Amino acid sequence: MVPLDPYAQASIKTADNLRSIAHSAAVRDLSQLSLPEIDTAVDAIARLAPAGNVPGVILNGLARQPGRRPPAANVQRDVNLLFKGVEAALDRVAYGAFFAGPAAIISGYQQLLKLAGKEPAAAFPEGVWQFYVQYAGREDSARHTIETGGFDAMLGKHQIALHPVDRITAWLMAAIHALHQYPDLLANEWRERVYLATLQEVTAVQPDAAHYANLYPAWEKQRPYGRDRDADPNHNFATHRRHKFDQFLAEATRHLSAAAYQAWTERLQTMRQALKEYQQQLSLWAYLEPDTYGENRRPLLWEQLHVGLIVQGRYYLIPASDPDSGRPSTVTAVREQVAAIHALPTGATAVKLSTLATLKRSALAELRRGWNKTLTASLTQLQHVPILLNADQRPSHLTLNDIRQTERGIGDHPLTLFDTGQSFVFDQSQIFFDAAWGAALAEIFTREAMSWAVYLRGLPPPTGSGMHIKPLAFPLEPAEQRYIEQSPRLPPEVSAETDQINLSLLHNTRQLCQQRSEWLNLTVTDWLIFYHAIHALTYQPDPTLAAEVAALSKTPRYETAAALTQAAFTVGQAVPAVLIPLDAAHASPRDRLYPLVFVAPLRELDVWGLHGRALDALVAARQGTLPFAEFDQQRRAYLAALAGFGQILHHAQEISVHGASARADALQRWATMPAPVLRFLEAMPNQFDPLHNLMQGQELFAHLEPLAANSSLTRFSTAKEDSEKRGLAWGVLTDAQGVMRITLRDCRPHVAALASIGYKAFATRLAQHYLDSYAAGLNNYLHDLRRIAVASRDP
């Protein structure tokens, strides 16, 4: 008999213990589930969280709690107990190989809530995603990185030569005002989404329902990210934006019936508490406190708020408020402090906190308990800094991932800014920011800094006024230094970037396909995801790189790294499961994201085969060896399969956002779909479990849509959760000039293996070739598809 692996053994023990408790009369009365349903839940818990007797202990505790909503502190305690129980039940190898991480623990806990008769949704008042990222989005790798070039472009356009002190001052003032306005900025975001979503629901059965359904896209095209020329001089940006939205809303609802208006406003009145909770959930007036398994968000009072400035590797604190008035610190006061720091940076030798930033947060939590008093006091002060500005300029040609590899705190704060001399890079914690909101804030921030730059250019040269400002001191004792060196760190990663996608060709091909069939309505993102799957199946490693890997394999101590590298780039692998973050904020701001896992059905639809046959048929038809009608038949079959792919992806997105209702809406649309597409659509479930999706995705694909026609965003690197099973993360952004840039983060096992033998640069070359071949392959594919789409009987 083959012995069971440690994970299976732990699961069996967990199920046996939990089943005896779940079958008790008391629990069965509470859960109101049938015996088979109870057994199904028990088996799921044992599979997801094989934690021995811990699930049974938690279930007993939940059963004794009154009501259907467990207290938040109890939920966090229970989840931490599950983590601890799984760690105790599994050895390190089994834990890393089989355990699916925080998503599995939280999913298992939801099943325990069901067994105890509790309401799972009520246990997570800030939404499951927020709870999840505080466990799975806590590490240094879980940060979005967004670049804007508007500030330096404006300086160059108007030939403004800012003094270095004023360059820093402009951005510090933008940070200070962003902190003061942040509750109102969040309120604007919530109002714009909720007001229009609620209006759409109230008017859904009215004759002009389409008008109200299209209001949010219409607002997106005109919402401001800075104060316009017509702005009231007494209005800050948040007030100006609210005023603009109210004007838009008044015009949009001009013909709304009195009954509908009353129903709409009454529903909005019931949501006031939800707005306050949203502002608290995403507040920047907070810092992160690491625990063994997750992060705790700790609030800050306005009088505690500072912005941090890094100059020559030293950390300085600038108060965000005037201590007497409580208003934002004046530009004069901030400028004087910056001038003093710039003129004479003094204090202890700079200590690299970046060595702490790459520690695992669980290790950092343990370390902090024994640090010396001076270090503890300085790090406590640093917790009062939601925004850090690193003014030590980084080379602009570096990838976003490399730009951030410098001083950036230790991971407790929400946002760091880096200056490249030609742009500014925003490094944003996933716990506080989704990519879309992070991009919007980066745009708002940049335009605010531009306004301050225009103001500062007219002032006399700055002076330090004899002021003496000391940096924070971070002394490390020898024992602390040794402990840091021995503590677990994040595995290394590499990144690559490209701007070689032919976006005009992509748009042109999209339009041609839409002209041929109303079903061929794939978006730009759809085409990128579609070819991503094709590329995974067809990628051919560069012969030179492959030869270098082969040479590595001949050296015994390099064999493991070579084998992992060869496995990572094996030709013709299965289509990867891609995690696609979908914006949930329009319907429910607190939910933030709906994670969709999508496996492109290339083989089921034979799309790639149809492409090849259509292309061959076109060549044969042009050569006169095949009747054009036969080519046209091949083309029709191919384009129908492409349309089917689009419908499958769109339906999966609709299910993720709207659940079972999406299926009912789609039934009539499917009638004319090809049989393979119809079978695939009908087999899809009525709804997806977000936590299950988070456990399945092998790669992450995030596309930031353009914010505005004059947006200054230039590059985007997506955050990656702490799961080591998510090997590649694709971040896509198109700038205002129509240039699409893709940033690829490669965190697969071969990267760490190559880095350990001094070949990290080689891992970077491999990632760059993989990305370059994706861009070139997509361009070639679009060229061929266009040839197929436009072909006619007359050459």
292, amino acid identity: T
In this prediction, residue 68 carries a pLDDT of 87
Burial class (CB in 10 A: 0-12, 13-18, 19+), 780: exposed
Question: Residue 472 — φ and ψ, nearest 5°?
Answer: -70, 145
In this prediction, residue 297 carries a pLDDT of 96
**DSSP 8-class letter at 270:** T
Mean pLDDT of 106-113: 92
With respect to CATH, is domain 494-600+690-790 assigned 3.30.559? yes
**DSSP 8-class letter at 322:** -
CA distances from 284 to 460, 592, 713 (A): 34, 16, 22
Helix (H, G, I), strand (E, B) or coil at 495: strand
For the chain, the average pLDDT equals 90
Q: How far apart are CA 283 and CA 566, in angstroms?
A: 45
Contact residues for 751 (Cβ-Cβ < 8 A; gap 6+): 491, 492, 493, 494, 760, 763, 767
Q: How far apart are CA 550 and CA 565, in angstroms?
A: 10
pLDDT classification of 230: cutoffs 50, 70, 90? confident
Contact residues for 594 (Cβ-Cβ < 8 A; gap 6+): 581, 582, 583, 584, 656, 657, 690
Check for a shared fold between 143-180+288-486 and 494-600+690-790.
yes
Examine the pLDDT at 331 and tell me if it is beyond 70.
yes
Burial class (CB in 10 A: 0-12, 13-18, 19+), 518: exposed
213, amino acid identity: A
Q: How far is CA 424 from the centre of its chain?
A: 19
Quickly list DSSP for 214-247.
THHHHHHTT--SS--TTS-TT--HHHHHHHHHHH
pLDDT digits (tens, 9 = 90+) for 464-521: 677 888 899 999 888 888 989 999 999 999 999 999 999 999 999 999 998 888 788 8
CB atoms within 10 A of CB 692: 15
Q: Which is more confident, 138 or 230?
A: 138
Contact residues for 393 (Cβ-Cβ < 8 A; gap 6+): 419, 420, 421
Q: How far is CA 272 from the centre of its chain?
A: 27
Domain assignments of the chain as residue spans, ordered by start: 6-123, 143-180+288-486, 185-281, 494-600+690-790
745, amino acid identity: R
Helix (H, G, I), strand (E, B) or coil at 329: coil
Alpha helices (H) along 396-523? 400-403, 435-456, 478-486, 503-516
**DSSP 8-class letter at 328:** B
Q: What is the 3-state secondary structure (H, E, C) of 536-578?
A: HHHCCCCHHHHHHHHHHHCCHHHHHHHHHHHHHCCCCCCCCCE
Examine the pLDDT at 246 and tell me if it is beyond 80.
yes
pLDDT classification of 29: cutoffs 50, 70, 90? confident
Examine the pLDDT at 661 and tell me if it is beyond 50.
no
CB atoms within 10 A of CB 683: 8
pLDDT digits (tens, 9 = 90+) for 277-313: 999 999 999 999 999 999 999 999 989 999 999 999 9
Q: Which fold has domain 143-180+288-486?
A: Chloramphenicol Acetyltransferase (3.30.559)
**DSSP 8-class letter at 386:** S
Contact residues for 219 (Cβ-Cβ < 8 A; gap 6+): 192, 196, 245, 248
Q: Which helix (H) or strand (E) holds 315?
A: strand 314-319
Q: Which helix (H) or strand (E) holds 296?
A: strand 295-299
Helix (H, G, I), strand (E, B) or coil at 299: strand
pLDDT digits (tens, 9 = 90+) for 177-197: 999 999 999 999 999 999 999
User: How many contiguous H segments (helices) and E segments (strands) does the chain have?
Assistant: 34, 15
In this prediction, residue 99 carries a pLDDT of 62
CA distances from 557 to 103, 343, 560, 734 (A): 36, 51, 7, 43
* Farthest-apart Cα atoms in the chain, separation: 88
Q: In sequence order, what E strands does 587-690 have? A: 593-598
Quickly list DSSP for 118-165.
--GGGG-TT-HHHHHHHHHS-STTSEEEEEE-HHHHHHHHTT----HH
